[in-house]
Amino acid sequence: MADSLQKAFIGVIALATSCIAVELIPVSRQAAYWNRCLDNTVSWVKESPGLKGWSNEAKESLAIGVCNGAVFESKLKTN
């Protein structure tokens, strides 16, 4: 009796672990997409001639805003 109960618990644990793993797939894909966006945007901002005077923190803050969708204009205004 105790052996079958233990097997049932192991089965439930395995099922729960599998469900959690499946639920994490979209989150990990979104995180990978966001990290790729941040890396590409940071490199673009660092190469922009109009932003040479900005500090690294300001450039990274701009890149984070772009990847989060906070920047709505396609042309960057520096004035």
- Which domain range does residue 33 map to? 2-68
What mean pLDDT is predicted for residues 1-14? 88
If you write DSSP's letter for every residue of 65-76 in order, what string do you get?
Answer: HHHHT----SS-
* Residue at 13 is within a domain: yes
Examine residue 21 and state whether it is found in any structural domain, yes or no. yes
Say what percent of the chain tops pLDDT 70: 86
Q: pLDDT by residue (tens digit) across 51-67?
A: 888 888 888 888 888 89
pLDDT in tens, 17-40: 999 999 999 999 999 999 999 999
In a domain, 20, yes or no: yes
What does the alpha-carbon distance between residue 48 and residue 73 come to, in Å, rounded to a whole number?
16
Q: How many Cα atoms sit within 13 Å of 65 on the Cβ side? A: 13
Tell me, yes or no, whether 49 lies in a domain: yes
For residue 42, which of 27, 26, 30, 54 has the smallest C-alpha distance?
Answer: 54
